[in-house]
Structure 1
């Protein structure tokens, strides 16, 4: 959450690309599968439609925004003091850095 958003991926291949591009030297990552609960609104929006303050997007409590960038990445934003509830996480996988310097993804994560 240091970036002010959660990196979202819609496909396994995209997850690998995001890890390689932004977290290449991270020794341990968590890959979470998220299901947005009923009552939470996902709003796909363009960069132009978001108000930004530094690197953080202004989001009202209870509001969830997903911003899709031109390069195919998606970012999930919530209000700073109103994180996405842990109950939305349906599975968690540790993505460790292998001895060869490549991240090791679980075998069930297929493209």
Structure 2
């Protein structure tokens, strides 16, 4: 399954340089990297990233993350993917811009479900 991380483009660029992503501020505070499934990612964007420009959508192969990835109850009791460890850039399937629409919501690629 593919899981997703919404992140500032400049922060992701630094991760690509380092070969790993250690987490954004909220991830570091919570002790794991917050990820979303395709079904969850649009709502995550609405709740936590509305009207934020300069973001990218990082798609990751969840199987490549091994036992460090756990699906745990979160918003509305839904199981969200949480990564307890570093996210290796080698596990990334794609990195795409996440532009803003006129309504302040992000425009997602058609293949994200």
Asked if Structure 1 and Structure 2 have the same fold, meaning a TM-score greater than 0.5 normalized by the shorter chain, the answer is yes
Query: Pick from 47, 61, 76: which aligns with 2:82?
Result: 76
**Is 1:3–2:32 an aligned residue pair?**
no
- Provide runs of 4+ in structure 1 moved above 3 Å: none
Give the greater-gyration-radius structure (CA): 1
Alignment partner, residue 27 of structure 1: 53
Instruction: State the Cα RMSD in Å.
Output: 2.3
Runs of 5+ consecutive residues of structure 2 not aligned to the other structure: 1-23
Q: What is the match of residue 88 of structure 1?
A: 91
TM-score of the superposition, structure 1-length normalised? 0.60
TM-score when normalising by structure 2: 0.59
C-alpha contact 1:8 1:73 (8 A) present in aligned 2:
no
1:15, 1:98 → 2: CA distance?
Answer: 16
Say which SS state the counterpart of residue 87 (structure 2) adopts.
coil
Q: Say which SS state the counterpart of residue 57 (structure 2) adopts.
A: strand
**Corresponding residue of 1:61:** none
Aligned residues between the structures? 83
Uncovered stretches (5+) of structure 1, i.e. residues with no partner: 42-63
User: In structure 1, the residue corresponding to 2:97 is in which secondary structure?
Assistant: strand
Larger helix proportion of the pair:
2
State the Cα distance separating 1:32 from its structure 2 match: 1.5
